[in-house]
């Protein structure tokens, strides 16, 4: 488990529209956590590491997908 894995997952998601759709759907139905979706795609990190990656991303710039999630009323991805 690692912070690096959480950041790698962010990069993976920014390039994978199918995973973006999966995350959007999970948020809308509250059916899964980001860390669970990440695990399905081979990334392993704790909720805390996911939160740290999210907080770091806000300081360093968010991807278009992350901006869309924030703009869509999802104030954070902390439900990792």
Query: Could you read off the pLDDT of 22-36 as tens digits, one per residue?
Result: 988 887 777 678 888
The Cα 1–Cα 22 span in angstroms is 22
Task: Catalogue the long-range contacts made by 19-25 (C-beta closer than 8 Å, 24 or more residues apart).
Answer: 20/65, 23/69, 24/69, 24/72
**This model's pTM is above 0.85:** no
> CA Rg, the chain, in Å?
11
15 close to 63: Cβ distance less than 8 angstroms: no
Query: Could you read off the pLDDT of 31-65 as tens digits, one per residue?
Result: 678 888 899 999 998 888 888 887 787 777 777 88
The Cα 78–Cα 53 span in angstroms is 10
């Amino acid at each position: 488990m690692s912070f690096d894995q959480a950041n790698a997952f962010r990069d993976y998601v920014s390039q994978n529209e199918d995973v973006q759709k999966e995350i959007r759907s999970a948020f809308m139905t509250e059916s899964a956590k980001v860390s669970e979706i990440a695990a399905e795609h081979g990334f392993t990190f704790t909720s805390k590491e996911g939160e740290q990656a999210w907080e770091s991303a806000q300081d360093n710039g968010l991807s278009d997908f992350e901006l869309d999630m924030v703009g869509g009323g999802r104030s954070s991805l902390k439900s990792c």
